[in-house]
A and B are shown apart, each in its own frame.
Chain A
Amino acid sequence: NAGVMQNPRHLVRRRGQEARLRCSPMKGHSHVYWYRQLPEEGLKFMVYLQKENIIDESGMPKERFSAEFPKEGPSILRIQQVVRGDSAAYFCASSREKGAYEQYFGPGTRLTVT
């Protein structure tokens, strides 16, 4: 049973380019969460999605960031016009149900903006 998969594992972008991060949840999981982690810091919630729906995006910056989880295919976190401050590790997690169920984390995508 494959775990949560994220790709790419490492992504380098120049300022102003777009970054697309992909997350495939565990089989049977329909709840996906995205977190951002700066070096030596904690996990900051960004967005929670179910298939085709954004449930909570309260942690997402209002501009340049968007997320989707289509009916078919992986969840995608998209960052437009990246800036140096976007450099971080972005983790995706999935769970079988919402609430009081463990979240399984993917290996993360380390984004570096030059």
Chain B
Amino acid sequence: QQPVQSPQAVILREGEDAVINCSSSKALYSVHWYRQKHGEAPVFLMILLKGGEQKGHEKISASFNEKKQQSSLYLTASQLSYSGTYFCGTEFNNNDMRFGAGTRLTVKP
């Protein structure tokens, strides 16, 4: 039931863009995105409900394709502060959330 994230790691230069994908083998009720910096707790970014909606948070946005059972997180014009590990969390039929293994993003000056 754990969603699959790709890629596992990304290295960017400041100002570059990145896409992180999250896919599931089961029908999704909602997708959550979190960012965790080393040694800290995960911080909520956004939640997407089924229906194909998109959301934005500063220069970070996400989409949810219900038919494909996947979500993508888009980071544009990355900043140094974007570095961290990004986790997607998926809910099935309004049940408990399961997290992917994470995507480690490193933004270099």
Q: Do A and B bind each other?
A: yes
Number of A-B contacts (CB under 8 A): 55
Residue from the list A41, A98, A99, A105 in contact with B42, Cβ < 8 A: A105
Asked if A33 is at the interface (CB within 8 A of a chain B CB), the reply is yes
Range of interface residues on A (Cβ < 8 Å): 20 to 34
User: What residues of A have a CB within 8 angstroms of the CB of B99 in the complex?
Assistant: 35, 42-45
Task: Give chain A nearest CB distance to B58 CB in angstroms.
Answer: 16
* Interface residues contributed by chain B, number (CB under 8 Å): 23
B33-74 interface (Cβ within 8 A of A): 34, 40-44, 47, 49
Asked if A56 is at the interface (CB within 8 A of a chain B CB), the reply is yes
Take A33-B97, A42-B101, A45-B98 as given contacts and tell me if A102 and B29 are in contact as well, using a CB distance cutoff of 8 Å. no
Interface of B with A (CB < 8 Å)? 29-30, 32, 34, 40-44, 47, 49, 87, 89, 91, 94-102
